[in-house]
């Protein structure tokens, strides 16, 4: 019998599932009562394969419409599995916009969420109109952004650790502390991408940061205003959150010691 839960059992074997998905058609990662989510479909596929109820634990939850180029979930079994075979079966059951990249054996206590040491996101803006990118970028038509000033303001994100001003209101978190290691805009032709890496992220944090930095680029607020917004710890002072379709979770990093090489 195959099982999956967080209760410790004898001879438990833990695996990480690495997957990617286009989030346009889903209400985020986490299981929702009346909406289709990535976690729900992965659970159903595993349950179909092993003929017993299985629930995976994800590295975090992406919101409705947000995409992931890399996300991990962990799952427990009571005996070894053939990882390549299960990956193939999962991909045959999942929709085409969800892909299992691989399944990796880990140490018994490895946790997809709590063991992650860093996460990286990209927010993608297309400066113009492109019908083929409408579901994966925010499109700015006939609007000029001062990218130099946006980058100057973004540097402050590395010097602060409390980001309550960019957190979704009424979030049930114990701390608003995040250590940001990278925050920069890079433009190539018509594509403008915001890259940000941190040890953790608050709910809606990246989209709120991008929305506020866009206001800097549009000249609506100054670089000093951006600094004062961070110091205020007040969500009402920050800019509007940008739409979900431009946001990608691109990388989740773990200590190498949690992986077992078969």
pLDDT band of residue 1 (cuts 50, 70, 90) is very low
156-166: string of b/e by CB count within 10 Å (b at 16+)?
bbeeeeebbbb
Report the pLDDT value the prediction gives residue 164, as an integer from 0 to 100. 95
Quick one: 42 and 161 in the same domain?
Answer: no
Structure tokens at 43: 């659970």
Quick one: 92 and 125 in the same domain?
Answer: no
Question: In the listed set 83, 114, 145, which residue is the last one of a domain according to the structure?
Answer: 114
Quick one: 73 and 186 in the same domain?
Answer: no
pLDDT band of residue 168 (cuts 50, 70, 90) is confident
Is residue 25 situated within a structural domain? yes
For residues 226 and 156, is the Cβ–Cβ distance under 8 A?
yes
Angle between helices 205-217 and 147-154 (to 10 degrees): 130
Quick one: 125 and 103 in the same domain?
Answer: no
Whichever domain contains 139, its CATH number is 3.30.70.660
Question: In the listed set 114, 140, 155, which residue is the last one of a domain according to the structure?
Answer: 114
Mean pLDDT of 90-95: 98
Quick one: 151 and 52 in the same domain?
Answer: no
Quick one: 110 and 202 in the same domain?
Answer: no
pLDDT band of residue 5 (cuts 50, 70, 90) is low
Mean pLDDT of 83-93: 97
| Distance in angstroms (rounded) separating the CA atoms of residues 90 and 150 | 42
Mean pLDDT, the chain, whole residue set: 93
Quick one: 87 and 144 in the same domain?
Answer: no
pLDDT in tens, 6-20: 444 445 899 999 999
Residue 47 has pLDDT above 70, yes or no: yes
Quick one: 207 and 97 in the same domain?
Answer: no
Is residue 207 situated within a structural domain? yes
Is residue 127 situated within a structural domain? yes
Is residue 3 situated within a structural domain? no
Residue 149 has pLDDT above 80, yes or no: yes
Quick one: 76 and 172 in the same domain?
Answer: no
Instruction: Mention every residue, 6+ apart, whose C-beta is less than 8 A from residue 213.
Output: 150, 153, 154, 185, 194, 226, 239
Residue 158 has pLDDT above 90, yes or no: yes
Quick one: 127 and 156 in the same domain?
Answer: yes
Question: In the listed set 70, 93, 114, which residue is the last one of a domain according to the structure?
Answer: 114
Quick one: 110 and 127 in the same domain?
Answer: no
Instruction: Report the catalytic residues.
Output: 63
Report the pLDDT value the prediction gives residue 12, as an integer from 0 to 100. 80
Domain that holds residue 150: 118-250
Report the pLDDT value the prediction gives residue 109, as an integer from 0 to 100. 94
Quick one: 110 and 124 in the same domain?
Answer: no
pLDDT in tens, 17-46: 999 999 999 999 999 888 999 999 999 999
Structure tokens at 67: 């995409």
Report the pLDDT value the prediction gives residue 138, as an integer from 0 to 100. 97
Number of domains in the chain: 2
Phi-psi region of 20 (alpha: psi -120 to 50; beta: other; left: phi over 0): beta
| Distance in angstroms (rounded) separating the CA atoms of residues 38 and 9 | 27
11-15, 33-37, 169-173, 238-242: least confident range: 169-173
Is residue 257 situated within a structural domain? no
């Amino acid at each position: 019998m195959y099982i999956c839960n967080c209760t410790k059992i004898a001879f438990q074997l833990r695996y990480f599932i690495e997957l990617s998905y286009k989030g346009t058609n889903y209400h985020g990662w986490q299981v929702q009562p009346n909406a289709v989510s990535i976690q729900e479909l992965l659970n159903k596929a595993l349950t179909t394969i092993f003929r017993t109820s299985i629930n995976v634990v994800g590295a975090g939850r992406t919101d409705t419409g947000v995409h992931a180029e890399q996300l991990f979930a962990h799952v427990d079994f009571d005996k070894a599995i053939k990882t390549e075979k299960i990956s193939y079966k999962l991909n045959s059951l999942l929709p085409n916009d969800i892909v299992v990249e691989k399944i990796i054996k880990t140490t018994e206590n490895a946790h997809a969420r709590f063991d992650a040491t860093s996460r990286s996101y990209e927010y993608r803006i297309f400066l113009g109109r492109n019908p083929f990118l409408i579901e994966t970028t925010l499109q700015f038509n006939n609007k000029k952004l001062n990218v130099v000033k946006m980058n100057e303001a973004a540097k402050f994100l590395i010097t602060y650790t409390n980001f309550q001003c960019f957190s979704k209101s009424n979030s049930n978190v114990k701390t608003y502390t995040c250590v940001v290691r990278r925050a920069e805009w890079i433009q190539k032709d018509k594509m403008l991408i915001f890259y940000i890496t941190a040890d953790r992220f608050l709910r809606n944090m990246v989209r709120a940061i991008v929305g506020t930095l866009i206001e800097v680029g549009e000249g609506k607020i100054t670089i000093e205003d951006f600094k004062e917004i961070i110091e205020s710890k007040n969500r009402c002072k920050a800019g509007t959150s940008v739409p979900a379709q431009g946001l990608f979770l691109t990388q989740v990093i773990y200590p190498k010691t949690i992986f077992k090489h078969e």
